[in-house]
Amino acid sequence: MTPSCILLRESTDAATFEAAVWGGVFNLRRDTSRVPAAVCRARTTADVVAGVELARARGWRVSIRSGGHSWAAWSVRQDAVLLDLGQLHVDHHDTTGNIKGPGPGWIDYDEATGIVSCPPATTGQTLNGVLAAKGRMFAGGHCPDVGLGGFLLQGGMGWNCKNWGWACEAVAAIDAVTADGEVVHCCESDMDMDIMDSDGTGPGTKAGDLFWAARGAGPGFPAVVTRFHLRTRPLLQLFHSVYVYPLAAFRAVLAWAIEAAPTADPDTEMVCVSSYSPGATVPTVLAHFTTFKPSLAAAKRALSPLDGHAARPPGATVAVFCQPTSLAAQYADQAAANPGPATHRYCSDNAYIRAGDDDDRTVVPAILERAFTTLPSRQSCALWFSMNPTSRRPGRACDAALSMQSDHYFALYAVWEHERDDAAHVGWVHDTLRAVEPHAVGSYLGDADFRHRTPKFWTDECAARLRDVRRAWDPDGRVCGFLGQGDRSGVDGLPVANN
């Protein structure tokens, strides 16, 4: 008998089934020609196993949804069992994992280690709400409602990623259900172990490999994460400086930020965005510096060099220096900039711009000027996010699948309301990226759509290892993986030519 958590397409009324398929998807721009075979609304790990077993029995694939924020709705796949983890572990559990009854969600913080464990659909905002009471935080995504599942698997450009590193570097361990329906736990120390096959003939599937892939494989991760165990950091106060300029000053503003970035304070995040401010009739370019510090005095010391930097252009229409803010206020701003779920249509793409050191402050603004000055709608924006010095750290090659980055992260987010405007907005993103692509070293999975472009997402070495790990852990391609053109990537992953 089919478990009650599973809705089969063949025996569920169309409206109920469609709501189960699309209800958890953030983007209103959807390809509804993709229709899953079943939806498994898992509340327990056993439900996840049941979903995987069903797929094995019927010869179907499984797709996975945690927070539903993949721009291209990677969770919705033709004839797959959609494992919807939105309700996974929301019930209150006792320390042995038994359900005690409905509760506020199973988020456990260990005072002794500073490690928090949580289900994959936990959002950054929810997690930080729980951690704040303990005086801790997790540097998750900037938007309140992105799920940790998709975010962490692809690397996670979290708070102050520029200096603190990628969010996935704070993953201490994962619990997962494999493509065979086995429950596994893997952590960093597993990466050193060489487990033999049961017949003792050679290296078998290694838990360490799965842990390696969990930090950068993104939708190519060949298993289902059911819990993350995450290292937290002390919760500090938040302060920010905001400088708004006319669009004509774009090159000078970005040049200033690029010049200041390498030596800027290590707890300070630096972003330049072109967008329409609320009520404005023309877009502006904004330099936004956010710092995490224990006091106002420390924040002023951090932000003063940027305020007084010789390259700071004159002519700011707004100049706010070192104002107190909070994670809650920043989340609210991000939520306003990314309305939803399911109210707006989105298209995004991105590139890591090749860094050339000394001439970056003239070359990079020139490469990005068109993108920043041609926004197609009031809600759309273009973003430069400084990754230097994280991007310059030596010795991190291939200790995680995540391996692609440069000093300059650039992303476009087209946001609109009506289907009739799809072509103009999607076209803007694709055309603009095409012009930037010759100057890029690769892209970030998190803001990508492989149906349109497959740039480099990993170094060649990491891409090859990821292919091997996927084949070892999921030889039949049970887990859907990358949604490329026609959804045919299977165990081969994305096209070899690009990695």
Ligand X SMILES: Cc1cc2nc3c(=O)[nH]c(=O)nc-3n(C[C@H](O)[C@H](O)[C@H](O)COP(=O)(O)OP(=O)(O)OC[C@H]3O[C@@H](n4cnc5c(N)ncnc54)[C@H](O)[C@@H]3O)c2cc1C
Cβ nearer to ligand X, comparing 181 with 446 = 446
Please name every residue paired with 318 in a beta bridge, in sequence order, or none if there are none: 244
Residue 26 touches ligand X, criterion: CB under 6 A: yes
Give the residue, chosen from 149, 216, 484, 493, that forms a contact with ligand X under the rule CB under 6 A: 149
Binding-site member from 39, 54, 64, 381 for ligand X (CB under 6 A): 64
Residue 120 or 376 having the CB closest to ligand X: 120
Asked if 120 interacts with ligand X (CB under 6 A), we say yes
Binder of ligand X out of 165, 365, 442, 446 (CB under 6 A): 446
Of residues 366 through 385, those in contact with ligand X by CB under 6 A are none
Q: Does residue 484 touch ligand X according to CB under 6 A? A: no
Nearer Cβ to ligand X, position 85 or 387? 85
Choosing from 54, 146, 168, 463, the residue that interacts with ligand X (CB under 6 A) is 146
294 prior amide bond cis, ω within 30: no
Binders of ligand X among residues 70 to 89 (CB under 6 A) are: 70-71, 74-75, 85
Q: Considering the complex, what minimum distance in angstroms separates the CB of residue 354 from ligand X?
A: 21
**Quick one: which segment of 60-68, 99-107, 282-290, 307-315 binds ligand X (CB under 6 A)?**
60-68
Residue written as token pair 């920010």 = 240
CA distance 44 to 306: 49
Of 25 and 287, which CB lies nearer to ligand X in the complex structure?
25
Interface with ligand X by CB under 6 A: which range of 140-148, 303-311, 351-359, 394-402?
Answer: 140-148
Binding piece for ligand X, criterion CB under 6 A, among 65-73, 267-275, 390-398, 417-425:
65-73
**Which of 37, 157, 364, 469 is in the footprint of ligand X by CB under 6 A?**
157
Q: CB of residue 297 vs ligand X: minimum separation in angstroms?
A: 29
Given 36, 147, 216, 376, the residue binding ligand X (CB under 6 A): 147
Of 105 and 446, the one with the shorter C-beta distance to ligand X is: 446
66, 122, 275, 386: which one binds ligand X (CB under 6 A): 66
Instruction: Identify whether the C-beta of residue 77 lies closer than 8 Å to the C-beta of residue 120.
Output: no
Site for ligand X in 221-240 (CB under 6 A): 221, 224-225
Q: Which two tokens stand for residue 213?
A: 């892939």
- Using CB under 6 A, which of 36, 51, 105, 141 touches ligand X? 141
Which residue of 17, 60, 151, 250 would you call a contact of ligand X, by CB under 6 A? 151
| # binding residues, ligand X (CB under 6 A) | 33
CB of 295 to ligand X, least distance (A): 26
Q: Write out the residues near ligand X by the rule CB under 6 A.
A: 26, 63-71, 74-75, 85, 120, 141-143, 146-147, 149-151, 153-154, 156-157, 219, 221, 224-225, 338, 446-447
